[in-house]
């Protein structure tokens, strides 16, 4: 077993882009680069649209709450769907739905009839789509690559996400000034075709089979018990439980850039959409560096890595609120992005490597529910603080709790080794069941 673990770890370290050897993953990755770039273009345009329709910072918080709120409410239900139905088919449905919503927003803005409640409603509908799309995408990665390449694949997902984070806002900032806001919504609607085409071109025979859960076809109370299995697993596995503590704090309070960055640009730096696009791109550049570093690292994320990235992220985010210089703000935002990306990929991989494959949809739905679904709470809190106490104080409110969470995790993990995944013949991906049993024995 030890020799198998060493071989798997050596294979995972064969290159920064090792997961790209798998055709299905390449198709998925390339489609996501195009689509997520469009998503960031729309996100930038939507945030600026909200500021033009309402001068109250709280409006940004409401829009964010509506867009991410469904994840918090529907997470466990979505997880059961992800574990029951083919994930590739689910993704084609969710991506098509998101494209339709983007096209509707384009029509409303292009015809100059858009109102704030239109943006709120479409944000809510997109949130309903994302409640199913996010855990499906998270769980689908493990079907495209073997477990020895999972950290690399998750890190490369973060790379494409942050390439899009760089390109999307930068292009959006220029296009808003040149062509107006509606064009960005149309381009985003078209960008979803890249993902749908990639999914259709995949070789289904090369996807890693996913064992069906015992509750996959259950009804009534049995189905409710199936939804609770993910939560029970998280609670019973000490390492996963502490990881989710970090995820909850960082996701709720730390990841509120959809509110903080436009306010930083407009209220603190007194700038327009071009500078807002640069700030968003700086966040993406830093996140891209962090994702590439973690992709090259390979292996299993350690306790020290999770604690260190959380601590650095919190300190740097709080520091943004203490400066007014554009170059320094951009440097701090880029460094914050690096910490953010490394933490996200490490936490995601730790969660997947610790979860049996037949339960991964439910556990990853809880992951999405806590990591992104709690963002509406943070959006409202941060926007309210910015409205009442000022934007600089809101950055302190975002960063300092992450520092405290990192210190608590360090204390809880003191003298406890990082759990290591063990290969199991039944999963083909060298992870899951045996480690889950091992972790539960520690409890």
pTM for this one? 0.65
Q: Is residue 316 part of a domain?
A: yes
Q: Is residue 214 part of a domain?
A: no
Is residue 209 included in any domain, yes or no? no
State the pLDDT at residue 175: 80
- Give the model's pLDDT for residue 422: 43
Which pLDDT value is given to residue 356?
78
Domain annotation covers residue 215:
no
Going from the C-alpha of 76 to that of each of 2, 135, 368, 370, the distances in angstroms are: 35, 10, 10, 11
Q: Return the CATH number at 116.
A: 1.20.1250.20
- Residue 179 backbone phi and psi in degrees, to 5: -115, -10
Give the pLDDT score at 426.
Answer: 35
Q: How many domains does the chain have?
A: 1
- Tens digit of pLDDT at every position of the chain (443 positions): 444 445 444 444 456 778 888 899 999 999 988 998 888 888 888 888 888 888 777 787 788 778 877 877 776 677 778 777 888 899 999 999 999 999 999 999 999 999 999 999 999 999 899 888 888 887 888 888 886 777 778 778 877 776 776 677 777 777 877 888 888 999 999 999 999 999 999 988 888 776 655 554 544 445 555 556 777 888 888 888 899 999 999 988 888 887 788 888 888 888 877 787 788 778 878 887 887 787 676 666 788 999 999 999 999 999 998 888 899 999 999 999 899 888 988 888 788 778 777 677 777 777 877 776 677 778 788 888 888 888 889 999 999 999 999 999 999 887 666 555 443 333 333 333 323 332 232 22
* Two structure tokens written together for 100: 């339709």
Residue 2 forms part of a structural domain: no
Residue 110 counted as domain residue: yes
In a domain, 113, yes or no: yes
105/118 Cα distance (integer angstroms): 8
Residue 424 included in any domain: yes
Q: What is the pLDDT of residue 119?
A: 92
Range of the domain at 259: 15-203+221-442
């Amino acid at each position: 077993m030890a020799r198998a673990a060493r071989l798997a770890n050596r294979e995972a370290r064969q290159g920064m882009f090792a997961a790209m050897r798998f055709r299905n993953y390449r198709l998925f990755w390339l489609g996501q680069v195009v689509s997520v770039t469009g998503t960031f273009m729309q996100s930038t345009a939507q945030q600026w649209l909200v500021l033009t329709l309402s001068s109250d910072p709280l409006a940004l918080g409401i829009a964010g709450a509506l867009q991410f709120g469904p994840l918090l409410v529907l997470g466990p239900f979505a997880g059961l769907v992800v574990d029951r139905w083919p994930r590739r088919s689910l993704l084609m449905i969710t991506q098509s739905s998101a494209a339709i919503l983007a096209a509707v927003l384009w029509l409303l803005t292009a015809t100059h009839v858009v109102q704030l409640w239109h943006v709120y409603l479409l944000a809510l509908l997109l949130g309903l789509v994302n409640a199913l799309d996010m855990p499906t995408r998270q769980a689908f990665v493990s079907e495209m690559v073997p477990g020895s390449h999972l950290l690399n694949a998750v890190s490369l997902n973060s790379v494409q996400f942050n390439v899009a984070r760089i390109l999307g806002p930068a292009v959006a900032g220029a296009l808003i000034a040149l062509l107006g806001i509606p064009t960005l919504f149309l381009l985003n609607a078209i960008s979803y075709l890249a993902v749908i085409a990639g999914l259709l071109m995949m070789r289904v025979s090369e996807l890693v089979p996913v064992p069906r859960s015992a509750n996959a076809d259950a009804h009534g109370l049995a189905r409710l018990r199936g939804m609770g299995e993910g939560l029970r697993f998280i609670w019973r596995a000490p390492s996963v439980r502490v990881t989710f503590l970090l995820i909850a704090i960082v996701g709720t309070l730390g990841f509120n850039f959809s509110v903080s960055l436009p306010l930083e640009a407009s209220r603190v730096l007194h700038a327009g959409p071009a500078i807002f696009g640069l700030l968003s791109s700086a966040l993406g550049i830093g996140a891209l560096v962090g994702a590439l570093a973690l992709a090259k690292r390979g292996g299993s994320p350690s306790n020290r890595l999770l604690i260190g990235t959380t601590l650095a992220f919190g300190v740097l985010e709080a520091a943004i609120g203490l400066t007014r210089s554009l170059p320094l703000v951009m440097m701090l935002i880029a460094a914050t992005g690096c910490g953010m990306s490394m933490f996200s990929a490490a936490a995601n991989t730790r969660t997947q490597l610790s979860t049996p494959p037949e339960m991964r949809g439910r556990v990853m739905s809880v992951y999405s529910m806590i990591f992104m679904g709690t963002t509406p709470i943070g959006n409202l809190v941060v926007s309210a603080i910015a409205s009442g106490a000022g934007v600089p104080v809101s950055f302190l409110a975002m960063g300092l709790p992450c520092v405290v969470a990192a210190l608590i995790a360090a204390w809880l993990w003191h003298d406890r080794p990082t759990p290591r995944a063990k290969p199991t013949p039944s999963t083909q991906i060298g992870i899951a069941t045996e480690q889950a049993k091992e972790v539960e024995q520690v409890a």
